[in-house]
Amino acid sequence: MHGHEFHYSRVLWFKENHAYLACRVQRGIGIDGQMDGFCYNNILGMFSHIHVAGCPEWADGLAKSAVTYRLREKILRGLSEKLREVRP
């Protein structure tokens, strides 16, 4: 993925057992001089930004992730309702 980074802030501290750094930078400094992008569960936050024309597949990936999330939640909600019917 190609991107650029703007730094108007800095990371002072993070717990490595709660999140991890997701991307190695080839240029720039990222968060720690080598890596960028905090990943926690299904959330990614980073200094790097993409330009839509430089990475057109991002929109398809985002849409697929949203649909997958919605379907998973619908299935889990249905299972939870069924369990409530079985357990009075």
Residues 46 and 12 in one domain: yes
Q: How far apart are CA 47 and CA 22, in angstroms?
A: 12
| pLDDT score recorded for residue 68 | 93
Angstrom CA distances, 5 to 22, 25, 56, 62, 80, stand at 15, 10, 18, 21, 43
Range of the domain at 3: 1-55
Residues 36 and 65 in one domain: no
| Count of domains for the chain | 2
Q: For 20-78, how does the pLDDT look when each residue is reduced to its tens digit (9 = 90+)?
A: 888 888 887 777 888 888 888 878 887 777 777 777 888 888 899 899 999 999 998 88
Specify the pTM: 0.47
Residues 51 and 64 in one domain: no
| pLDDT score recorded for residue 51 | 76
| pLDDT score recorded for residue 35 | 85
Residues 81 and 45 in one domain: no
| pLDDT score recorded for residue 31 | 78
